[in-house]
Amino acid sequence: MNHPTPLISIDEFAQIQNKDQLLIVDCRFNPAAPEESYQSYLSTHIPGAVYAHLNNHLSDLSRQGKDLLGKQPLPSAEQWAATLSSWGWSPELTVIAYDDSGAMLAAARLWWIMHWMNVPVQILDGGFSAYQRAGHPVESGAVERTPTQVAPVAFDSNKAIFTQDLRHAVDNHQVCIVDARPQDRYLGKNNADPVPGHIPGATHRFAAENLQEDKHFCTSSDLREAFIKLIGDRDPSTVVHSCGSGVFACQNLLAMEIAGLHGSKLYAPSWSGWTSDPENPVTTG
């Protein structure tokens, strides 16, 4: 199977002559001030970019806490089709997403949702800060694209796993879970999570470890070495990524794809979904 590279460099992006064939999506998001994120976009962004809000476009918060879906439930197929339509998406377009956090938040989430429907997306390596440092043009104001007709999308069930199926897989030692949260949360030494700890058997790789100091991704060879050290000789298809609510985990999954380790899954409800069922076991330390 052909796996297009998930990253595009600032220089590669700048050399694209026909930007009309692109759908550029600004995914900058500040969890501490969610609505200020959109204001930052309105102030300055890459020319032609539409805006993706983590809570409003890349999640369905109306389902928060329901059906063990966790605190950041994914959008439904119908909702996602409506969002794509509002952005003027069509299958012929190349989608390029960026944020300012090394794709630890909304950019990787957008990448994964499109990956879930088997549509490739490229992440602008280094994000908006690197783009600005390179001196490329910016613009302000909201971008309005002509809406398209997008039918309800089909998601690939092989790319996601949910709580009941994961519980069965954990009980039968069928998966290798990689927890993307900061180490103190994984160990249960931080009260950021209502229930401390992690899923039994889960190993740990904080998503920020996939980045260099300037928020560019580490090289594919370095990422491959790190993940092989973590998962051993397991088939990548047995690897499941988790975090607090299914956001950080997308970046670890993205990093494995960059490393050429294809086929791992996202546990979208993540820790918030797992601990919604008091019958699910937890581990600390």
Q: What is the pLDDT of residues 219-266, one digit of tens each?
A: 999 999 999 999 999 999 999 999 999 999 999 999 999 999 999 999
Helix 248-258 and helix 220-231, axial crossing angle in degrees, nearest 10: 110
CA distance 214 to 267: 28
Judge contact between 7 and 258, C-beta under 8 A. yes
Q: Active site residue: 27, 176, 243, 250, which one?
A: 243
Nearest to 57 by CA among 40, 37, 43: 37
Look up the domain containing 54 and give its range: 7-133
Please state, in angstroms and as integers, the Cα–Cα distance from residue 265 to each residue in 95, 147, 200, 245, 281, following that order: 21, 31, 17, 15, 21
Residues 123 and 204 in one domain: no
How far, in Å, are 46, 163, 173, 275 from residue 198 at the CA level? 39, 14, 15, 9
Q: Is 243 a catalytic residue?
A: yes
Residues 114 and 189 in one domain: no
Percent of the chain with pLDDT over 90: 93
Please tell me whether residues 230 and 162 are part of one structural domain: yes
Number of domains in the chain: 2
Shared-domain flag, residues 166 and 231: yes
259 found inside a domain = yes
The pLDDT tens digits of the residues spanning 202-211 come to: 999 999 999 9
pLDDT digits (tens, 9 = 90+) for 134-156: 999 999 999 999 999 998 899 99
Is the residue at 1 inside a domain?
no
Residue 262, SS3 per DSSP = coil
Tokens matching residue 276: 């919604």
Q: Are residues 38 and 81 in the same domain?
A: yes
Residue range 166-192: average pLDDT? 96
- Asked if residue 220 lies in contact with residue 259, where contact means CB atoms within 8 angstroms, the answer is yes
CA distance 156 to 146: 28
Inside any domain, residue 284: no
- End-to-end, the C-alpha distance of the chain in Å comes to 39
69 and 124 fall within a common domain: yes
pLDDT in tens, 14-25: 999 888 999 999
| Same domain flag for 11 and 129 | yes
* CB burial of residue 272 (10 Å; 0-12, 13-18, 19+): buried
CATH of the domain at 194: 3.40.250.10
pLDDT given for residue 262 in this prediction:
97
Nearest to 19 by CA among 151, 200, 143, 120: 143
Residues 28, 79, single domain; the answer is yes
76 token code pair? 């439904």
The one-letter code for the residue type at 215 is K
Query: Are 123 and 86 members of one domain?
Result: yes
Torsion angle of the four alpha carbons 256, 210, 173, 245, in this order, in degrees rounded to the nearest 10? -100
